[in-house]
Amino acid sequence: MLSLYRHQRIEVLARELEKNLRQELEEARERDVFYRPTIAVGSRAMERFISERFALDFGVASNIQFMRPAELLHRLVEERLGGAIQGLRAWAPSALRFAILEELRVFQSDHGEAKESAATFLESYLNPNADAHDRRALLLATDLADILDRLIHYRPEETRSLRRDEIPEAFAGDPAAIFFQRLLARLEARLGETHLLALLEALARAPQPEAPEPPIHLFGISYLPPLHVQLLRGFAEERPLHTYLISPFEHFVERDYFTLAERDELSAIFHPLLAAWGSLSTDFLHRLYEGAEGVNDHLIEAPDEGNADERDLLTQIRSDLRGVREPSVYDGEDWNLEIHSTFGMLRQVEALRDRLLHLFAEDPSLAPRDVAILTPDPDRFGPLIEAVFSQEEEGLPTIPVTLTDTSLATLSEAGSLLVQLFNLATTRVTLPAVAGLFELHGLSARFGIGEDEQGELREILAMSMMRCHLDAEDPAADPEIPISEPHTVRAGLRRILLGSLMRDPDETRAEAEIVEGYLPLRGIHPESLELVYKLLEAMEAIVTFIPELRRPRSLDDWLELVTDLFENLLPPNDLGAEGILYQLGLLRLEYEASLPDESEPPLFDATAFAYELERRLDDSSDHPIGRRGGVVVSRLTPMRALPFRVIALLGLDEDRFPRRARHHALDLVAKKPRPGDRPAGREDRHLLFEALLAARDRLMIFYTGRDATTNEVIPPCVPVAELLDVLKVMRGDSARTLIEEHPLHPFSRRVFSPDAPAPIRSYSRDAYLGAVALGNESEEDVIAVEGIRPLDERKEPIVDVDLDDMIRFYTQPARFIARRSLRAALPEETLELGDREPLSLDPLENHKLRDAVIGEVLVHAFDDDALDAACARIERIRLANGEGVAHRLDAKALAEAANLARAYGEVLHKEGAQAIEWSTLFGVTLITTTESGAKLRYQIGSAERRTMRDELLLVTVSTGKERAMLEAWLLLAFSGDPWTRARIVYRSDKDARSTCIALPSRPSDEFLLRLVRVYLGLDKERFPVPLKPAFEVARSLLKDPNDPQKAMEAGHWAYHESGNPSRPSESERPENLILYRSSPFRESSPFYAPALALIKDLHVAVLAAEKE
């Protein structure tokens, strides 16, 4: 059964989802306590929104499995057809292009009809004599993969005809149809008939499931391709399918919708904005209704919006949309939809800052976390927003900013280094390009070149007389232009080296001795020798890599070369380098999915690999959107439909928005567009539509409306012009200004006038002083900003804390901070791209597998017979996860596992654990309200924590006693009732022991909030240190609280001693070296006092709570 739930507000849909999930969980968990409901969402931001809503409304967010729609369909198809389908992932466009590259070679030698259909394109893109794929070939393959993917998903009926060797009527006479017919046939022969269209036909032949299937939920999805809709309809016949749609209108479904859409006549029946901006969602809704029987449509009743006279402009627009009527005249005063015209990007950001300051002054309840800034280009606007919003001016608060969805190119200079090196390898090596490399901080830091030495370094390079080309044999040189060998890079380096060896730096050029045809560079003084040798070392490394970058390589060899390049040209543990290597590792996985059995992997030249690198660098990072108190800055796509009180849209310039689609000459879908297609321009318009529905208090749009040089008027982009047309109708006969025009300069007199309208008023004291200096204002006319408290004092009503994360923070602080805050990838976490399936276990894997077996035995049973069953379960899990062939523990590890499991069983029997009914907490989010009214939100994750009467039982296999004690104490402190005691069962050498933590009374709210502030990095007086040394300090303080210096000395020795010859000490661990550099237990360390303060608060309390 297909059930649709429709409303304009995402929060209302979330409540409906919560109600359905609660009922589903109550029914399912009677059969399976570990049941996990499945929700398909469009982004990780939406995933987090749902989890937070559940926690806020019900106090618990249970074990929910979130997926993307395509991932969900893949899983459902595999479950329905009886297991994993080999080759299914190979049809993803990112992987499919590699198979297409190989097939294009076949087309080049094919003299039949298929080649004739695409001869022009093959000849212009492909070099038949090339030994390696170049940029043009990879670009063509990427385009063809995208075209074929759209053809399968958006033209399923026509694709069926192509698979039957028939040319569909829609493509008749188009030679591209013959080309794709042959290409699809060859790809199916290579990869198998495992794309979703072929699997849809296989599903029709598969037997129906006997048992009822669990429900599926699709939440906040704006649109799905027709093929996905067909698959979902099929699954809806055998299981409940709940779809929650942001629907702008009420009781309206036009049966002739697609006929009207093809004629471009939707504006005759829809609100103009819905016809112009919202056609994607209306297409999707009608696609779900089309040909479907028994659709259960739930139009959720809208909340009361008050009288028409009390509505604001946004509410009136949404009311008109919901009622499917023409725009009505708005007579109210609250025009909370603003359009701002400025002179360029910087003025957009400056105008937005002034506008936000005004809103913060008007509404003390408005906090930065309630504001979202969405832009098509956050990489360009992000640095400007950070710079302008962080300005410190007297009487004005700075506005905190949270940048999300940034690209790898913005996050790190490692990508810029690679791009510049590939440019040097594929074009002429020039002096400006070489000097530009040293402007990258990472490269300069790797060779110890400081910022204050950059000027002298450029002077040395200029005096060396190097101009262009690597050497006299540079293959990148133009064959018609001779190379001037004395001006090559290698000649210049020889001059610098010889000049550094001259005895007298003031020796004249005439007296200087020519050495092997090179005149030493004069004027290098002894104090510059160190810089010269750094420069020579760096240049030698760079010059060594350039020829290597010019050789064609396989993808594996390219990855190895890039890794070597990062190791030699960047500092260790460079964050950007790790991110790029991870992305390139994904590239290799895509290649292996498409060409898994290639005995001779194809070669790619530097231009092809540079193209792929640029694509990866431009992709935005997919991090969850975390509201950490700052204004969220993001692209429009990840934040789509998420509600904020204030939404500002920046950069909607006529030349940049909406995106102009680039249609390939072979694109059969673009040649014959239909309603339901998803070109970039329509999707951008729909993003505006969702922002219109998501803004709760105010929507502001900024664009460049005048040329800063000529003052010429620049028209707004077409979607904004369409919005202006609607607003002209809604203002009726009033003379209200629809566009707020900002002056060229922030110190213009207009923005400081007491009569200046609020949307353009400025509060910048610095800009005002500039206006005074220019004689535009008198000092007395300054506009004071009243009532704006510092924004960091606007406390969030909820402190968002993940308790599992906080436990990791306090038990392994340096590792947690390095991973989460610094985003440093530690050496043991470096992505290892192995190409062979493991056939045996190394000692560390053996150790981990042994602990996993013990854990399985403890969860299910204590007797020896459970050991074989536990091993078998783990083998199945490893095999399913792709961790290699099934392995069994070696005899020694198996004996250790049996002995330890028996020891744990004896302790747990002794504690009476087997005689009670256990309940397990998996992935639960709890919310507790403190006595002072503050709320602490935290999560209990997937660790084994079980309740026993009024005790919390923690069973740990591989964790030490101190860590388990700290974890138990934090759980008791933050969980409160019903637990006041925690029983810990832990491993000591080859035995199992137990201890107890008791909290007769819960710590005060102030104490708990202090621990939370330390975790969030808001407490400047306390800081965590490694666990074992911290407990050594705490033990010493318990014995003698009056001698903290002696206690910290004990911590210092524990910091440097391992206690296990096979393991490094805390002082040798990379994460501690990154964070503390030297021992934090020495008085000379800046961490000394904050660490001591935290140990007195936390670790001493944990030891005092232990009851043997």
Residue 382 backbone phi and psi in degrees, to 5:
-55, -55
Q: Residue 282: how many CA atoms within 13 Å on its side-chain side?
A: 32
> Do β-strands 798-800 and 695-704 pair in parallel, antiparallel, or remain unpaired?
unpaired
CA distance 122 to 720: 41
Residue 824 lies in a domain: no
Using only the alpha carbons of the chain, give its radius of gyration.
Answer: 33
611 in the same domain as 517: yes
Contact (Cβ atoms closer than 8 angstroms) between residue 506 and residue 534: no
612 in the same domain as 503: yes
Is the model's pLDDT at 482 over the cut of 80? Answer: no
pLDDT of residue 844: 58
pLDDT, greater one: 950 or 1061: 1061
Is the model's pLDDT at 228 over the cut of 90? Answer: yes
Is the model's pLDDT at 578 over the cut of 90? Answer: no
For the chain, give the percent of residues with pLDDT over 70: 77
Question: 460: domain CATH number?
Answer: 1.10.486.10
pLDDT of residue 86: 79
pLDDT in tens, 129-179: 667 888 888 998 999 999 999 999 999 999 999 999 999 998 988 888 988
CA distance 949 to 969: 17
pLDDT of residue 794: 46
Residue 937 lies in a domain: yes
Which positions ≥6 away from 997 have C-beta within 8 Å? 965, 968, 969, 972, 981, 982, 984, 1102, 1105, 1106, 1107
Is the model's pLDDT at 394 over the cut of 80? Answer: no
Interaxial angle between packed helices 69-81 and 226-236, expressed in degrees from 0 to 180 and rounded to the nearest 10: 50
419 in the same domain as 567: yes
Residue 4 bridge partners (DSSP): 243, 297
- Residue 509 pLDDT grade (very low, low, confident, very high; cuts 50, 70, 90): very low
Is the model's pLDDT at 186 over the cut of 50? Answer: yes
pLDDT in tens, 664-717: 888 999 998 888 888 888 889 999 999 999 999 999 999 999 999 999 999 999
pLDDT in tens, 330-342: 988 889 999 999 9
For the chain, give the percent of residues with pLDDT over 90: 27
Contact (Cβ atoms closer than 8 angstroms) between residue 629 and residue 796: yes
Is the model's pLDDT at 882 over the cut of 50? Answer: no
Which positions ≥6 away from 123 have C-beta within 8 Å? none
DSSP 255: T
CA distance 327 to 318: 10
**DSSP secondary structure string for all residues of 953-976:** EEE-SSS-HHHHHHHHHHHHHHH-
CA 345 from chain centre, in angstroms, equals 25
Does the pTM exceed 0.85?
no
Reported as type and span, the H/E element at residue 1108 is none
415 in the same domain as 401: no
- Residue 772 pLDDT grade (very low, low, confident, very high; cuts 50, 70, 90): confident
CA distance 790 to 629: 13
The beta strands (E) that lie in 708-780 are given as: 739-741
Is the model's pLDDT at 108 over the cut of 60? Answer: yes
Is the model's pLDDT at 1011 over the cut of 60? Answer: yes
503 in the same domain as 443: yes
- Residue 796 pLDDT grade (very low, low, confident, very high; cuts 50, 70, 90): very low
pLDDT of residue 442: 86
pLDDT of residue 475: 76
Is the model's pLDDT at 977 over the cut of 70? Answer: no
397 in the same domain as 258: no
576 in the same domain as 643: no
pLDDT, greater one: 951 or 992: 992
Query: Closest Cα to residue 466, out of 434, 443, 438, 441?
Result: 434
pLDDT in tens, 39-50: 999 888 898 888
- Residue 821 pLDDT grade (very low, low, confident, very high; cuts 50, 70, 90): low
Residue 417 lies in a domain: yes
- Residue 31 pLDDT grade (very low, low, confident, very high; cuts 50, 70, 90): confident
pLDDT of residue 268: 64
978 in the same domain as 884: no
Is the model's pLDDT at 730 over the cut of 80? Answer: yes
Question: 769: domain CATH number?
Answer: 3.40.50.300
- Residue 820 pLDDT grade (very low, low, confident, very high; cuts 50, 70, 90): low
Residue 683 lies in a domain: no
**DSSP secondary structure string for all residues of 825-889:** PPGGGS-----S---S--HHHHHHHHHHHHHHHHHH--STTHHHHHHHHHHHHHHHTTS-S----
Q: CB atoms < 10 A from the CB of 87, how many?
A: 17
> Do β-strands 65-67 and 38-40 pair in parallel, antiparallel, or remain unpaired?
parallel
Residue 415 lies in a domain: yes
Is the model's pLDDT at 458 over the cut of 90? Answer: no
Lowest-pLDDT choice from 220-229, 735-744, 924-933, 1061-1070: 924-933
Q: Pick left, alpha or beta for residue 465 (phi over 0 → left; psi -120 to 50 → alpha; otherwise beta).
A: left
Lowest-pLDDT choice from 184-193, 844-853, 945-954, 1094-1103: 945-954
Boundary of a domain, candidates 915, 933, 949: 915
Residue 830 lies in a domain: no
Residue 519 backbone phi and psi in degrees, to 5:
-90, 120
- Residue 805 pLDDT grade (very low, low, confident, very high; cuts 50, 70, 90): confident
Which positions ≥6 away from 63 have C-beta within 8 Å? 34, 35, 36, 922, 923, 924
CA distance 299 to 430: 65
Residue 410 bridge partners (DSSP): none
Is the model's pLDDT at 809 over the cut of 90? Answer: no
**DSSP secondary structure string for all residues of 376-405:** S-HHHHHHHHHHHHT--BTTB----EEE-S
Which positions ≥6 away from 149 have C-beta within 8 Å? 91, 92, 93, 96
Query: Closest Cα to residue 400, out of 820, 799, 795, 791?
Result: 791
pLDDT in tens, 318-364: 988 888 788 999 988 889 999 999 999 999 999 999 999 999 988 88
Residue 308 lies in a domain: no
Residue 937 bridge partners (DSSP): 800, 927
Is the model's pLDDT at 793 over the cut of 60? Answer: no
Contact (Cβ atoms closer than 8 angstroms) between residue 1100 and residue 1034: yes
Which positions ≥6 away from 856 have C-beta within 8 Å? 866, 870, 873, 874
Stretch 798-823: mean pLDDT: 71
In the chain, the number of structural domains is 6
Query: Closest Cα to residue 1108, out of 967, 894, 961?
Result: 961
Boundary of a domain, candidates 735, 762, 781: 781
Is the model's pLDDT at 8 over the cut of 80? Answer: yes
Lowest-pLDDT choice from 525-534, 983-992, 1016-1025: 983-992
Is the model's pLDDT at 317 over the cut of 90? Answer: yes
Is the model's pLDDT at 721 over the cut of 90? Answer: yes
pLDDT of residue 838: 45
- Residue 971 pLDDT grade (very low, low, confident, very high; cuts 50, 70, 90): confident
pLDDT of residue 777: 47
Is the model's pLDDT at 986 over the cut of 70? Answer: yes
pLDDT of residue 1043: 92
CA distance 690 to 702: 17
CA distance 603 to 600: 9
Lowest-pLDDT choice from 287-301, 640-654, 889-903, 944-958: 944-958
Question: 252: domain CATH number?
Answer: 3.40.50.10930
Task: Compute CA distances 1081 → 185, 543, 810, 814, 1043, whole Å.
Answer: 68, 45, 17, 14, 14
pLDDT of residue 498: 84
Stretch 534-553: mean pLDDT: 91
251 in the same domain as 183: no
943 in the same domain as 1084: yes
pLDDT of residue 352: 96
220 in the same domain as 183: no
Is the model's pLDDT at 847 over the cut of 80? Answer: no
Average pLDDT, the chain: 79
pLDDT, greater one: 24 or 123: 24
Residues of the domain holding 77: 2-86+204-303
138 in the same domain as 105: yes
Residue 608 lies in a domain: yes
Is the model's pLDDT at 412 over the cut of 90? Answer: no
Contact (Cβ atoms closer than 8 angstroms) between residue 463 and residue 521: yes
pLDDT, greater one: 29 or 469: 469
